[in-house]
Homo-oligomer: A and B are copies of this chain.
């Protein structure tokens, strides 16, 4: 069935894409089922992927993503490349505040967390490095959405906006105003919009061309510090990261 429909490359990618944060370990038959490939074909492809190191087989017979794929993927400029440039500034933010520090990029209509430093005593947050989240709720998400192409904004604004708390913005008109304010002020505040006890302050990071390529945030317990006090700290870190990525300050941000 799958032979005519999908190319071999498509099957290989479907096998890799079968792994998700909720299912990081899969048996061969789960892999076949989740990727829509016959068991016989999956068997052959998985053997090749395992021999190369893209997958690893545990003692329990389940497959996992292999270290070699992780090594190659670590070359992604929007993954670890960005992270390496950002890390000294994220560490500075963490040292000064001992709060949660997050770094995210936009992937389509969602964001992906590229780095996270979690304070031991800081307010708990829902994020995972490599994990995805909606754009309209978090501080980093609001920054990335505010600077996304118009068609991405329209798509997000026209879809239902999920409420995580009573404070999550679910009105497209209100969200439009908030995004305009984010662009005007140069930072975003998400106050209880993801979890009711957390406030996030986020700022945009400009790449070499001046385009916004990422966002950085501090996430603190609600009521601890006014967002206006945290904003300069986060904005300074964002500028530092942009500079180390080759952005010329004084340009668009």
Contact = CB atoms under 8 A, between A and B. Distances in A.
Nearest to A94: B91
B9 A68 contact: no
Given A12-B12, A48-B9, A77-B24, A67 B112 contact: yes
A161 interface: no
Contact of A74 (B7, B16, B25, B130): B130
Contacts of A75: 19-21, 24, 64-65, 130
Nearest to A83: B129
Contacts of A24: 75, 77, 81
A117 B115 CA distance: 13
Contact of A107 (B68, B94, B130): B68
Nearest to A71: B130
Interface of A: 7-10, 12-13, 16-17, 19-21, 24-25, 45, 48-49, 52-54, 56, 59, 64-81, 83-84, 87-88, 91-92, 94, 105, 107, 112, 117-118, 120, 128-130, 132, 209
